[in-house]
Amino acid sequence: MSKQKKNTFNDFGGIMFSTDPDFVYESNEEGAQETLPNAQQDLRVMLDRKNRGGKTVTLITGFVGAETDLEKLTKILKTKCGVGGSAKDGEIILQGDFKEKAFLFLQKEGYKVKKSGG
């Protein structure tokens, strides 16, 4: 027996209740997103301090693909830089200033990457 995922309010895009007895909610869920090849990825590497209590992080944005592939790339970058970090919504966050190191690694791996910000 498999458990069915319980829907929350946010899953319905704000719809709480319908008086229509035939109403069926249609979700806009996309299928598994296809990960682009490294050469077609357009990544931006930048430093960020906003909303982080003054701490500097290296932010890598623009990843297009499956969440699992984003997690794999994040794990490799965290290992290469020897730091902590996280990945979500197509962004990789590395704790600290590793802009140059991340840029060089991504370039070596064949990603189309640019430095962004100051």
Residue 49: CATH number of its domain:
3.30.780.10
pLDDT greater than 60 at residue 86 = yes
Between 79 and 15, whose confidence is greater? Answer: 79
Within 10 angstroms of residue 101's Cβ, the number of other Cβ atoms is 18
Per-position b or e across 46-57, b if 16+ CB within 10 A of its CB: bbeeeeeeeeeb
Structural domain of 74? 32-115
Q: How many domains, the chain? A: 1
Assign 39 to helix, strand or coil. Answer: helix
| Residue 4 domain-assigned (yes or no) | no
Residue 78 burial (CB count, 10 A): 19
Residue 38 in domain = yes
Tell me whether residue 59 is in a domain: yes
Per-residue pLDDT, 115: 93
Select the highest-mean-pLDDT range: 8-12, 18-22, 27-31, 98-102. Answer: 98-102
Greater model confidence, 8 or 113? 113
Listed in sequence order, the residues at least 6 apart from 110 whose beta carbon sits closer than 8 Å to its beta carbon are: 38, 39
